[in-house]
């Protein structure tokens, strides 16, 4: 089954629903995987620990959560490997993927990643890692939202670089990777200029 044709399931919940990962003993990525991926449990553990480090700032947590989530989805579903194995060329491939994600990965409205069902948190089937929208003035002119027209803004791509670079710096500090593959991309402007 082609992972590009199936919408991914949300992985990282809101801060208020995440237990302190520094106090957890076991992490399992199995509910989010179609096939076993060596290192995925570690990916999940340190993505949660990285994000939980921002528990004093909900805004920063929310803005930083999107990028590790997307990278986890891409790494596990498309590359079928751990984040810890990604090199500069993988990150460049991921950025290119963000310019043209599969239609099944694009939503037409912002929805919560998870919802409460009978007192239990469950992934929201309507959530997608990427969202296309129209401006208020386009909406007032009855312009339709078209997933084919998805294109990240310059600010979004800069945010991707910023969040993922911080994430990999954290992984270096935790002695999980030797270098930051995001920082190794010398010509970030080639990605930013594409959408100017």
In a domain, 132, yes or no: no
For residues 42 and 17, give the distance between their C-alpha atoms in angstroms, rounded to a whole number.
Answer: 20
In a domain, 49, yes or no: yes
In a domain, 10, yes or no: yes
**What confidence tens digit (pLDDT) does each residue in 17-55 have?**
999 999 999 999 999 998 899 999 999 999 999 999 998
Q: Quick check: helix, strand or coil at residue 12?
A: coil
Q: For residue 195, what pLDDT is reported?
A: 41
Strand partners, 187: none
Q: What is the pTM of this model?
A: 0.88
Question: What crossing angle do the helices spanning 40-52 and 58-73 adopt, rounded to 10°?
Answer: 170
In a domain, 130, yes or no: no
In a domain, 40, yes or no: yes
Query: In terms of residue numbers, what domain contains 36?
Result: 3-104+156-193
For residues 156 and 91, give the distance between their C-alpha atoms in angstroms, rounded to a whole number.
Answer: 15
Query: Considering its fold, how many domains does the chain have in total?
Result: 1
CATH number at residue 177: 1.10.150
Question: What crossing angle do the helices spanning 40-52 and 154-173 adopt, rounded to 10°?
Answer: 110
Between 102 and 193, residue with greater pLDDT? 102
DSSP letters, 18-48, are ---TTS------GGG-SS--TTHHHHHHHHH
In a domain, 140, yes or no: no
Contact criterion met (CB below 8 Å) for 21 and 45: yes
In a domain, 125, yes or no: no
DSSP at 76: I
Q: For residue 155, what pLDDT is reported?
A: 86
**What confidence tens digit (pLDDT) does each residue in 112-164 have?**
999 999 989 999 999 999 998 765 565 556 667 777 778 888 888 889 999 99
In a domain, 117, yes or no: no
Residue 194 above 60 pLDDT? no
For residues 178 and 140, give the distance between their C-alpha atoms in angstroms, rounded to a whole number.
Answer: 51
Q: Quick check: helix, strand or coil at residue 173?
A: helix
For residues 188 and 182, give the distance between their C-alpha atoms in angstroms, rounded to a whole number.
Answer: 9
Average pLDDT over residues 55-63: 86
């Amino acid at each position: 089954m082609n992972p590009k044709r199936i919408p991914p399931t949300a992985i990282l919940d809101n801060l208020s629903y995440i237990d302190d990962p520094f106090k957890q003993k076991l992490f399992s990525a199995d509910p989010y995987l179609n096939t076993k991926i060596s290192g995925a449990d570690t990916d999940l553990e340190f993505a949660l620990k990285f994000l939980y480090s921002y528990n004093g700032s909900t805004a920063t947590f929310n803005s930083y959560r999107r990028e590790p989530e997307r990278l986890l989805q891409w790494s596990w579903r498309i590359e079928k490997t751990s984040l810890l194995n990604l090199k500069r060329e993988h990150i460049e491939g991921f950025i290119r993927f963000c310019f043209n994600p599969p239609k099944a990965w694009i939503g037409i409205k912002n929805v919560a990643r998870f919802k409460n069902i009978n007192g239990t948190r469950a992934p929201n089937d309507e959530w997608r890692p990427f969202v296309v929208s129209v401006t208020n003035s386009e909406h007032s002119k009855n312009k339709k939202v078209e997933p084919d027209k998805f294109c990240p803004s310059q600010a979004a791509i800069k945010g991707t670089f910023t969040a993922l670079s911080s994430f990999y710096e954290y992984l270096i500090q935790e002695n999980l990777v030797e270098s930051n593959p995001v920082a190794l991309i010398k010509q970030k402007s080639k990605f930013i200029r594409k959408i100017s």
